[in-house]
């Protein structure tokens, strides 16, 4: 179906993938982003039933017949909708499938059959090598400072380590919030920047207004990295933890992945996530306006770099 899909990358206005955010990314956010020249994405589990998910996929496919878009598929066995979601991927054939929390093998067979691409989240070199051995098309390097589930590695060192054995697509994640960051990711050798936090405070986001306001008012010092809520280390907004009435000193590590942990306070729904780039978020914007702003920042940074290089060459 997708003949030479990677050639479509050249049609993008900016090398950015809007990261899939649990309970935040909406179909309209995906559509607005992809129509504006970046790659929109959403977690399949944001649709609370398979029936709703199918409606979303029909809508997105109809509104984005020629644009790139992506879905996020949880590959871990604890995903109770693993099989139904896999069947909907087979049926509606999203151009890009992003895998998280598990081996991508099963979804790879489905996606490769219709000519799509598979990108895998990785937080360590060991995980990256396993994904590469499985023949994924792209590695998403989830570095220190990323919103949601995040790794501990420095992006400079991580990107260099991956390039020692991988010549495929690299997507860099972790605190990337403006156009300068996108350019920096490209200079590091990444093909795409992965941006999530920057898009929480958009009009198309599912995030509650209080969540958007919290992101706008937060600084990097308001972010806590912990595995206390899901068993996987992630970055959360400290004000949301305090709002839930949780004593910060009482937080203890969890020792297993639990995607269905049942308590009165739930990660993602009540404990809100954000990355280190929160300081850049100043107000709620329509997705289209935000992307225009990012493009302007990117080109201004590129122009500034070229001017400096020219000036240095004349010395």
Query: What is the pLDDT at residue 102?
Result: 83
| Residue 239 falls inside a structural domain | no
Query: What is the pLDDT at residue 273?
Result: 96
| Residue 246 falls inside a structural domain | no
Nearest to 218 by CA among 228, 231, 207: 207
Query: What is the pLDDT at residue 253?
Result: 62
CB atoms within 10 A of CB 81: 18
Residue 112 predicted with pLDDT over 70: yes
Query: What is the pLDDT at residue 101?
Result: 84
| Residue 21 falls inside a structural domain | yes
| Residue 6 falls inside a structural domain | no
Query: Are the beta carbons of 153 and 172 closer than 8 angstroms?
Result: no
Give the tens place of pLDDT for each residue, 297-309.
Answer: 999 999 988 877 6
| End-to-end alpha carbon distance in the chain | 53
Partners of 42 in the β-ladder: 71
Mean local confidence (pLDDT), 260-289: 85
Mean local confidence (pLDDT), 54-61: 98
Tokens 């996987």 -> residue = 232
Average pLDDT, the chain: 92
| Residue 285 falls inside a structural domain | no
CATH number at residue 103: 3.20.20.70
Q: How far is CA 255 from CA 18, 20, 228, in A?
A: 30, 25, 9
Mean local confidence (pLDDT), 224-239: 90
Give the confidence band of 258 by pLDDT, cuts at 50, 70, 90.
very low
| Residue 64 falls inside a structural domain | yes
pTM: 0.93
Q: How many alpha carbons lie under 13 Å from residue 12 in its C-beta half-sphere?
A: 23
Give the confidence band of 22 by pLDDT, cuts at 50, 70, 90.
very high
Pairwise CA distance, residues 2 & 301, whole Å: 34
Give the tens place of pLDDT for each residue, 162-176.
Answer: 999 999 999 999 999
| Residue 287 falls inside a structural domain | no
Give the tens place of pLDDT for each residue, 182-199.
Answer: 999 999 999 999 999 999
Mean local confidence (pLDDT), 16-40: 98
Query: What is the pLDDT at residue 2?
Result: 62
Q: Would you mind telling me the total number of residues written for the chain in this entry?
A: 315
Domain count of the fold of the chain: 1
| Residue 18 falls inside a structural domain | yes
Query: Coil, strand, or helix at residue 40?
Result: strand
Give the confidence band of 260 by pLDDT, cuts at 50, 70, 90.
very low
Nearest to 206 by CA among 74, 42, 24: 24
Q: Which domain does 123 fall in, by range?
A: 12-207
């Amino acid at each position: 179906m997708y003949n030479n899909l990677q050639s479509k990358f050249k049609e993008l206005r900016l090398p950015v993938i809007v990261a899939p955010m649990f309970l935040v990314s909406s179909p309209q956010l995906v559509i607005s982003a992809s129509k504006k020249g970046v790659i929109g994405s959403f977690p399949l589990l944001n649709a609370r039933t398979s029936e709703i998910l199918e409606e979303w996929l029909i809508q997105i496919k109809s509104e984005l017949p020629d644009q790139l878009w992506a879905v996020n598929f949880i590959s871990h066995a604890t995903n109770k909708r693993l099989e139904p979601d896999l069947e909907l991927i087979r049926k509606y054939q999203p151009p890009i499938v992003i895998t998280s929390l598990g081996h991508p093998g099963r979804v790879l067979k489905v996606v490769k059959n219709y000519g799509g691409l598979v990108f895998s989240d990785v937080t360590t070199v060991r995980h990256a090598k396993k994904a590469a051995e499985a023949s994924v098309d792209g590695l998403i390097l989830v570095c220190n400072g990323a919103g949601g589930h995040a790794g501990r590695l420095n992006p400079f060192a991580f990107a260099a380590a991956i390039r020692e054995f991988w010549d495929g697509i690299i997507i860099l994640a972790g605190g990337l919030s403006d156009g300068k960051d996108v350019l920096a990711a490209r200079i590091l050798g990444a093909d795409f920047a992965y941006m999530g936090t920057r898009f929480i405070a958009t009009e198309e986001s599912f995030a509650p207004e209080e969540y958007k306001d919290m992101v706008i008012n937060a600084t990097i010092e308001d972010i806590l990295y912990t595995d206390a809520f899901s068993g996987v280390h992630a970055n959360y907004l400290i004000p949301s933890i305090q709002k839930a009435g949780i004593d910060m000193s009482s937080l203890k590590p969890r020792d297993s992945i639990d995607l269905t942990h049942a308590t009165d306070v739930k990660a993602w729904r009540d404990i809100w996530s954000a990355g280190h780039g929160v300081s850049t978020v100043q107000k709620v914007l329509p997705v289209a306006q935000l992307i225009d702003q990012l493009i302007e920042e990117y080109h201004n940074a590129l122009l500034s770099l070229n001017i400096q290089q020219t000036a240095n060459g004349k010395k």
